[in-house]
Structure 1
Amino acid sequence: MQGDHIPHLIGGQRLYQVVARRIAKLIEENAQVKGWRMPSERELAEELNVSRPVIREAVIALEMRGVVEVRGRAGIVVLPPRAGQVNFDRVGVDVGPGPFELLEARLALESSAAAMAAERATAYDLMVLEECIVQMERERDVVLLHEKGDRDFHLTIAKMTNNAIIVSMIEALWVQRDQSVMWKKLHEHIHAENVRPLWIGDHHSILAALRLRNPDAAYKAMSRHIRNVISELLEADERGRFSEDS
């Protein structure tokens, strides 16, 4: 993916915030240009030479500040200027890591944790994970962001490593996710009924690998799940537009 090796921090600033300012500047420069349209996320990624995840984070930041709005079939829509709108050049408060930065950290930590857990899994651990999946299947009316079964499943695997440092690091990532206003905004674009069966299936695959006490399979199953989450968060709006057109 283009821009994968670009760091998340530039001169102490988060990359998505730097990119958000560049997009805001692009909007300002073209505000009076007749017929100008806001580029798509893919086009912005190519033009600014950064990855799609960074563009998505930047768009969320702009959406939260009332600069743009993501509207299904229409894509990214520039909103009329508002009185007192935030000037990105004056933003000095770090609102925390972006959603994809958190997912990148989870991909590295939780995949390795799953491999360790496969070697140390007990019958009781596997039973607890089964109950977590059952709870996920019951939580059909719960917002994806607040699913307790999902959270408990991942934190149970972390605890199965019997490594307090790994547990504390993974717990910290989930706390940051739960407290992130950007996460909440990003999940507004997720079509829960479309992705829930896929993600529950991913959890069944992780559990199956753990039952086999197969570290490599557990690593790959967890990695595949988190990559599926990343993919859905990137493509959610495009899939929504496709559904509206059909």
Structure 2
Amino acid sequence: MDKGAAPQERKQYQEIGEHLRQQIVAGLYPVGSRLPPERHLAETWGVSRTIVREALLMLELEGTVDIRQSSGVYVMRIPSASSDEEEAFFRSDVGPFEMLQARQLLESNIAAFAARMATKADIENLRRTLEQEQRAIALDDTSQDNDRLFHLLLAGATQNQMLMDTVKSIWRHHENNPLWQQLRRHIETRSYRLKWLSDHQTILAALRRRDVMGAWQGMWQHLENVKNTLMELSDADAPDFDGYLFESVPIFQGKLV
């Protein structure tokens, strides 16, 4: 990234999540205490409850809070400032296609496992997220990252904290990779968003049927679609192009990897 380039604007959920984190660090909410309700937080910042929910999910995935159904959001630990070593890790030189390769291998199996483990509440949250995205597309609203939220909620539906943390880590790599951000701007048009929405609906339908193989295949094909789209948009001669990585990974049909 050029030194003179303006830093990427942070999304609202990230700003709210960081503000809540700082309040916890400052002692406003000690360990074991309950955060204000979503409705109150949304009114305080003048945003939708969806954005607040994403901010809380971000804090839950890092282990700072615990979101308990029908009870509230509780502080689990006092976060510390990220070390230079950790920040360097998330700024490491990992190409966008290498990230997609990791996601395809990991998230296909996550989707399959979620088809077995997802609760009714998980499926309802995923359904609500897709409805939000459908409305956002109709209004040409790009303020909410429902794509990211869908994938994080799907990982959460496995009921496995390590899988949740791993998916969150990959998304952090996305957010800190300039080349990925440059490519992503090209696939956030209305036509592509409708395509990703359709892919997500296929995955959710498989989860509802408890169709393990259908969920696996749905996620594999979704990320294959993203990969093929990025291949078309990329300059194969660019020094940072890493699309060749996918040529060595076969597409498995009819079985889990």
Runs ≥4 in structure 1, deviation > 2 angstroms?
A: 138-143, 187-191
Q: Does 1:123 align with 2:99?
A: no
Larger radius of gyration: 1
* Residue type at the aligned position of 2:114: A
Structure-2 residue corresponding to 1:139: 136
Identity of aligned residues (%): 37
Report the Cα distance in structure 2 between the residues aligned to 1:191 and 1:116, rounded to whole angstroms: 28
Residue by residue, what CA displacement relative to the aligned partner does 1:186-207 show, whole Å, maximum 9, x if unpaired? 1243361221111110011000
d(CA) in 2 for partners of 1:189, 1:224: 20
C-alpha contact (below 8 Å) 1:155/1:171 kept by paired residues = yes
CA contact (8 A) 1:133 1:149 kept: yes
Q: What letter is aligned with 2:210? A: R
Is contact 2:111–2:155 with CA below 8 Å preserved after alignment? yes
Gaps of 5+ in 1: 1-63, 66-93, 239-246
Amino acid at match of 1:198: K
Q: Write the deviation string for residues 81-109 of structure 1: whole angstroms up to 9, x where unpaired.
A: xxxxxxxxxxxxx7521111101111011
C-alpha distance in 2 between matches for 1:237 and 1:190: 12
TM-score, normalization by structure 1: 0.55
Cα distance in 2 between the residues matched to 1:112 and 1:190? 24
CA distance in 1, matches of 2:154, 2:188: 27
| Equivalent residue number for residue 156 of structure 2 | 159
8 Å contact kept, 2:116–2:212: yes
Report the residue type matching 2:152 in the other structure: L
Distance 1:237 1:190, change over 3 A: farther
Which of 214, 221, 234 aligns to 1:224? It is: 221
Separation in 2 of the partners of 1:191 and 1:174?
16
Q: Is the 8 A contact 1:190 1:236 kept in 2?
A: no
State whether residues 187 and 193 of structure 2, in contact with CA within 8 Å, keep that contact through their aligned partners in structure 1: no
- Alpha-carbon shift at residue 236 of structure 1 (Å): 3.5
Contact (CA 8 Å) 1:189, 1:237: kept in 2 or not? no
What's the TM-score, normalizing by structure 2? 0.53
Change (3 A) 1:237 1:191: farther
Higher helix residue share: 1
Aligned position for 1:171: 168
Determine whether 1:202 maps to 2:199: yes
In 2: Cα distance, 1:190 partner to 1:170 partner: 20
**Number of residues paired by the alignment?**
146
Provide, for residues 159-202 of structure 1, a one-character-per-residue CA deviation record: whole Å limited to 9, x for no partner. 11111111111110011111211111112433612211111100
Give the structure 1 partner of residue 179 of structure 2.
182
RMSD over aligned CA atoms reads 2.2
